[in-house]
Chain A
């Protein structure tokens, strides 16, 4: 008998707190973890941690979401791994809406990674996953993508685009036994929400990472994490535009 086929997880945006927590969550003997991101010094530290604590094999892969021309080669390199290939996409750029309004050039910064970069790398990976007829893709979207709002609509629109893309990808890869899950994330306790006024119901990165993995194992298609965002966003989505346009939530 051969051993159980090795599993690989590609963590795109592994320096983020959720990326670190997710890498720890999947790391165990027999799993290969690819930590992809820009801050390779930081990723090397995370790699040591999960190599020692999770006894997984780990590699650090320098990855820039906006360097689109490199994506094809990178995806092909990652796809050289034997066994099941899985990916979680965590990166994104969220300038403050007020900063974008003051400097419209920031619109491109935001969508270059959050939307264009995400679609580019996922589309390259899709070809390889399709050929293998196995694997899981977790795309991290946002509750901000559910409705365009005064405070965050550029980032929100990029995430809405990502949600639509992931739905299509799910439709396509489902035929090849590859599962695509869309996560609509609420507030998470990271450096990016730190010090933001008026936040509530903030989840820990560890809890989010655990929920993502559990939901993916159940082969959920779309899920809100934490789950209480589903009723909240259902209400927010159902407010008529005539009223919504006057609100500043």
Chain B
């Protein structure tokens, strides 16, 4: 027993197994968790020869934060809100602040972040590193587009003040740069005013893929739009699902429903997720909405972060974990490409539970940002023997139609496919070579995709 300790740090590094959110990939590395900025230089200096990866909220599915045999820095305790300007809405935060906390602090005061991921456990630092998008991408673009400035601690210990105007290259390399340009220590971005803590959500059933794309066309001026697809339904029902379109509600409802938090505290046996259970779940999920559709007032937290209703839901896929494939394909190729991908998933019977379809606008902030104008489809499937083959087939369809795969979700892409999907990759490499000439920042993803020189 060592008792309780305060004062100066005794041990900086701890050997831990780190997993991506999909739990299919694991890495053993030396992990440090700074509690204040003055801890950082020492961590950089003692990180050893295996390089350093940055792990923030731990919600990236694959290996973008993993660093097998090297070191990993956790940003969780760099979690303070540094300033907020009530007139402009500009907020400054440390990188470990989560969307969940900002929602708790600011929503009741009438402020909301401009772009939200599907889970509130994502950090602001992670949101920049993957230049994330939400259900409002068409209208509001990516998170990075709302960032006005950030401080980047480069591998050589320099604090670089980065904004789109004064350091455009460093800005574009860092937004979507998967943490390979340095550690962000302060981020400034704009919050938006909302009239109430609720959104008005209109839901309706959609019969098939063609109807879905029409529904998105109709909803193109909406604040938020998202489709949930039953990826087990084939034939005439291919692409059937639910469409949600939402607008900020002008006022809260008279009575507020209580939100129950659930948690998955153990790994489900691997056989739990199979075609039968998923089919039943999807059918139930779709039938919640009456044939004629419905309109409800929903708290922002439930609408923006539906996955957070069940904590640690990733454990339902069992010990071997799962993969998520998310791609975007241009509008022109949209229907053909999506049809082909859904057919592949249906045929594989690799029970993907609810899959997500969204329409994207052109907004992107960095060289390696994911979005392009088109449709984005996200599918989960268990990490079974056929997973890599299915993933490869889906990647082929994506490539053949001029699309790309989202790195925040990816665990299986090849370096060749990556380079073809991200034409601004050479620009990214040039900036990384300038900011990190000695190659301090590394990750399993960076090695797999040959992202760093």
Contacts and interface: CB of A to CB of B under 8 A. Distances in A.
A142 B38 contact: no
Given A46-B80, A49-B80, A192 B1 contact: no
Nearest to B77: A17
Given A48-B82, A49-B82, A151 B1 contact: yes
Given A15-B36, A17-B77, A143 B6 contact: no
Contacts of A155: 3
A185 interface: yes
Given A15-B36, A42-B38, A52-B84, A193 B5 contact: yes
A159 interface: yes
Interface in B31-62: 32-39
Contact of A17 (B12, B35, B81, B82): B35
A2 B3 CA distance: 46
Contact of A94 (B7, B82, B83): B7
A91 B84 contact: no
B4 A185 contact: yes
B291 interface: no
Residue picked from B2, B36, B77, most chain A C-beta under 10 Å: B2
B9 interface: yes
B14 interface: yes
B369 to A, nearest CB: 29
A220 interface: no
Contact of B4 (A15, A42, A53, A186): A186
A188 B36 contact: no
Interface residues of A, number: 45
A91 B2 contact: no
A52 B83 CA distance: 7
A53 B81 contact: yes
Contacts of A177: none
Interface stretch (A119-127, A129-137, A194-202): A194-202
Contacts of B10: 94, 96, 192, 195-196
Contacts of A52: 81, 83-84, 105
Interface string B243-256: 00000000000000
A58 to B, nearest CB: 12
A42 B14 contact: no
A39 B7 contact: no
A142 B3 contact: yes
A143 B33 contact: no
B94 interface: yes
A46 B14 CA distance: 26
A49 B36 CA distance: 14
Contacts of A192: 4-7, 9-10
A194 B14 contact: yes
A195 B3 contact: no
Contacts of B101: 53
A156 interface: yes
B14 A199 contact: no
Interface string B53-82: 000000000000000000000000100111
Contacts of B9: 191-192, 194
Given A144-B1, A195-B14, A13 B80 contact: no
B2 A16 contact: no
A93 to B, nearest CB: 4
Contacts of B7: 91-94, 113, 192
9 contacts: A16-B6, A42-B37, A42-B38, A49-B81, A52-B105, A144-B4, A187-B2, A191-B34, A194-B32
Closest 7 CB pairs of A and B: A144-B3, A192-B5, A195-B11, A195-B14, A49-B80, A93-B7, A94-B5
Interface of B: 1-14, 32-39, 77, 80-84, 94, 101, 105
Interface of A: 13, 15-18, 39, 41-42, 45-46, 48-49, 52-53, 90-94, 96, 113, 140, 142-145, 149, 151-152, 155-156, 159, 185-188, 190-196, 199, 249
